[in-house]
Structure 1
Amino acid sequence: MDREPFIRATEIWVPAADGRSIDLQSGVYGQMDYFAAVSRGMRFELGEGLPGKVWEQGRPIILRDLCNSYFVRKEAAMTEGLSCAVAMPSYDAGRLRSVTVLFCGDDRFRLGALELWTLRSGEDELSLVDGYFGHAHEFESETRDTRFASGEGVPGRAWRTGRPDVLASLGSDGRFLRHEAADQVGFDRAVGVPCPSRKGVPFVLTLVSSCVSPVAGRIEYWVLDEGVGGFRLVSGYCEACEDLLTSHADTVIAFDVGLFGRACRKRIPLIDEDLATDTESRVARSAVAAGLKSMVVQPLNAGDGFDAVLVWYF
């Protein structure tokens, strides 16, 4: 993919075996070698840094300004031009399994939006917790005045189903309610991701992509089909391949082979930093042919166990 993605780095943090810290397990940093070098081997105690804050508060957190916050690596972030981050926890039976951190920016050269929605006490519609919109000021203004009922819009559908809602096009069909404002600024795709919290309060992360800087090179949502013993592609899109769903229509990814099943069995996100070495995987070969180098596999738990994955390719 020739265009730089809006998500510039992804990290997976997991609690240490002794429960005293949350440690960096893996990360994808693109060409940001300095930020990668600073980050490798880091660990945080409860309440320390962004991963530690998510661990302590038990909910997703968005930081709109890394350099003017409690973010520990702010100097490295400023050097690499990172503007913001969002961190999402994953739980299993009330136990924290992981924290996924997505880094985005900077808005001088990239255009995109991060939105974190929640259901506040006593209300029946999702409202915005916070968001990062770069220089898309009119879109931000409309978003901050918007609420979503269950099943309404991208956040509402992700909330109702407990599953990702992937929109490959923000057309005028009513599925993206702010399509006029999105069209004016150049936004063209959206993904809604339900985010668990320790107390069961619903949160939804929405990522809005632009033709200038796509959220990722490819996004796929796969669900385990127990009838065939593997994962089938439900939705997704690729910036370099217009016919992704058709090309994978007959593809079944075995549960007991590869990163999809391993992420679900381990119940933590996993990263493949070099897809070119996975020559036996059909999805890896397809991604490499589209000019993609790495993928992040996020296992999803809809209440009956981890039986689906959301996959980001860069």
Structure 2
Amino acid sequence: MSKTAFIRAAEIWLPTADGTELVLGSGLYGPLHAFAELSRDTRFRKGEGLPGEAWAARHPIVMRSLATSTFRRIAAAAEAGLTSGIAMPIFSGDAIRAVVVLFCGDAADQVGAIEVWSNDPETDAQIGLHDGYYGGAELFEMTSRMKRFGKGFGLPGTVWAAEMPMVFREIYRSERFLRQEEARQVGLTLGLGLPFDGDPGKTWIMVFLSALGTPIAGRFEVWVPDGSGGLIYETGLSEAATDVSAAGRPTRIAAGDGLLGAVLASGLPVASADCAADAAWLVDPGEPAEAHSALAMPCLDAAGALKAVTAWRF
């Protein structure tokens, strides 16, 4: 991960055998070696630190500043240039399966948006912004905090209705993206929406909006179960183009086959520092595969069944 990327590091936290703590399963840290070393020796109980807070809340958490007493790696994060974090818990029924944590860098130099939208049907018929991190996109943040969407409207409402991961291309001129003028002004181009079903009775949607200069990820892909124990490609987008090339992409991924097959086999998120070995097709033509890392996340329904796998190439 480079210093220009909106996401500077990623972690996967897994429960211990007795289910009382979270330990680091794997991480993508790029050159942040000291922060990585500290993280390997860190554990979190439910409610502790950013991963533990997401575990306890049962929904995604945005920590807009890591210089807070509840974040346990403050000095190391500051030294690494990490300023904010997002934690996404993955549940199978009542059991925590994993927590994925993403870290961002200096807000003054970054443009993009990571949002958490929520709906409680007992109090509201629309979905509203729960929290978000916007880097330097202050105008877009102001507009977003005033917006609410019905089911099927805007990116959050569309993901809410579909209950599936979705990608949005050229959001600055899409009629389905109801903040297109604000997106155009700050340079936001691509979007990804993810549903989370860990909080019974409530709806939680994460929205990732990417700018060309500081992309959240170089490529997103969504794969879905094919009904016979494998995965097939559904949709995707990349920073280099509004659509993604099919060059080298497998027509079907079996359980245990590479990065996405590992997610299919385990039901857990998986990180790889080597796209060349684990998911070479995620690299755009002409780019060296060995220069990229990748993250794959399962999207589970409330009962823990796999609905989709999202692949992120950094």
* TM-score, normalised by the number of residues in structure 2: 0.91
How far has the Cα of 1:250 moved from its partner?
Answer: 6.8
Amino acid of the structure 2 residue aligned with 1:300: C
Cα deviation, residue 257, structure 1: 2.5
Query: What is the identity percentage for the equivalent residue pairs of Structure 1 and Structure 2?
Result: 38
- Aligned partner of 2:169 in structure 1 is 168
Deviations 1:106-155 (A, max 9, x none): 12322111111100341011111111122222111110000011111111
- Summarize the alignment of residues 95-110 of structure 1 with structure 2, pairs less than 5 Å apart: 95-110=95-110
Paired AA for residue 292 in structure 2: K
Which residue of structure 1 lines up, in the alignment, with residue 29 of structure 2?
A: 29
Q: Which residue of 1 aligns with 2:281?
A: 283
Whether 2:307 is the aligned partner of 1:310: answer no
Correspondence 1:268 to 2:287: no
Q: How does 1:88-167 map to 2 (within 5 A)?
A: 88-120=88-120, 121-167=122-168
The answer to whether structure 1 residue 79 and structure 2 residue 98 are counterparts is no
Taking a change above 3 Å as real, the CA distance of residues 310 and 287 of structure 1, as seen in their structure-2 partners, is: farther
| Superimposed CA distance per residue, residues 53-75 of structure 1 (whole angstroms, 9 cap, x where no aligned partner) | 12222222111111134111111
SS of the counterpart of 2:54?
helix
**CA pair 285-169 structure 1, distance change in 2 beyond 3 A:** closer
SS of 1:142's partner is helix
**Deviation of 1:219 (Å):** 0.9
Contact 1:235–1:245 (Cα < 8 Å) also in 2: no
Question: What residue number does 1:8 align with?
Answer: 8
3-state SS of the aligned residue for 1:265?
A: helix
Which residue does 1:42 correspond to in 2? 42
1:230 equivalent in structure 2: 230
Q: Is the 8 A contact 1:3 1:213 kept in 2?
A: no
**Corresponding position of 1:58:** 58
Q: Which residue of 2 aligns with 1:17?
A: 17
Query: 1:240 Cα shift?
Result: 3.6
Helix, strand or coil: the match of 2:128?
A: strand
Q: What does 1:164-203 correspond to in 2, within 5 Å?
A: 164-203=165-204
Query: For residues 240 and 288 of structure 2, what CA distance do their matches in structure 1 show?
Result: 6
1:234 positional shift = 1.3
State the number of aligned residues: 311
Contact 2:174/2:180, CA 8 A, preserved across alignment:
no
Sort the Cα spacing of 1:39 and 1:288 in 2 relative to 1 into closer, same or farther, 3 A. farther
In 2: Cα distance, 1:287 partner to 1:261 partner: 22
Q: Secondary structure of the residue that 2:111 maps to in structure 1?
A: coil
Q: Give the unaligned 5+ runs of structure 2.
A: none
In structure 1, distance between residues paired with 2:247 and 2:153: 30
TM-score between both structures, scaled by the size of structure 1 = 0.91
Q: Which runs of 5+ in 1 are unaligned?
A: none
SS in 2 for 1:276: helix
Q: How far apart, CA to CA, are the structure 1 residues paired with 2:119 and 2:165?
A: 17
The DSSP-based 3-state class of the residue aligned with 1:133 is strand
* Counterparts of 1:9 and 1:44, CA distance in 2: 18
Q: Structure 2: how far apart are the matches of 1:196 and 1:4?
A: 32
Residues 285 and 85 from structure 1, CA distance in 2 versus in 1: closer, same or farther, beyond 3 angstroms? closer
Query: 3-state SS of the aligned residue for 1:244?
Result: coil
What RMSD over aligned residues (CA atoms) do the two structures have, in Å?
2.3
CA deviations on 1:7-29 (whole Å, 9 max, x unpaired) are 11111111111122111111001
**Amino acid in structure 1 at the alignment position of 2:281:** V
Q: Which stretch of structure 1 is more off in the superposition, 16-25 or 2-11?
A: 2-11
Deviation at 1:286, TM superposition (A): 5.9
| Cα separation, 1, equivalents of 2:56 and 2:2 | 39
Show the counterpart of 2:221: 220
- For the residue of structure 2 that corresponds to 1:261, the secondary structure is helix
List structure 1 segments (4+ residues) > 3 angstroms apart after TM superposition.
Answer: 240-243, 245-250, 284-292
Match of 1:257 in 2: 257
Specify the alignment match of 2:293 in structure 1: 294
Aligned 8 A contact 1:89 1:196 in 2: no
Q: Is the 8 A contact 1:163 1:302 kept in 2?
A: no
Distance 1:166 1:246 in 2: 16
Partner Cα distance (2:288, 2:302) in 1? 34
What code does the residue aligned with 1:203 have?
W
Deviation, structure 1 residue 301:
1.4
- Preserved CA contact (<8 Å) 2:64 2:83: yes
CA distance in 2, matches of 1:240, 1:167: 14
Given residue 301 of structure 2, which amino acid in structure 1 is its aligned partner?
Answer: A
- 1:237-273 per-position Cα deviation (integer Å, ceiling 9, x unaligned): 1224565254467722223523323213312101112
Greater mean alpha carbon deviation, residues 50-59 or residues 281-290: 281-290
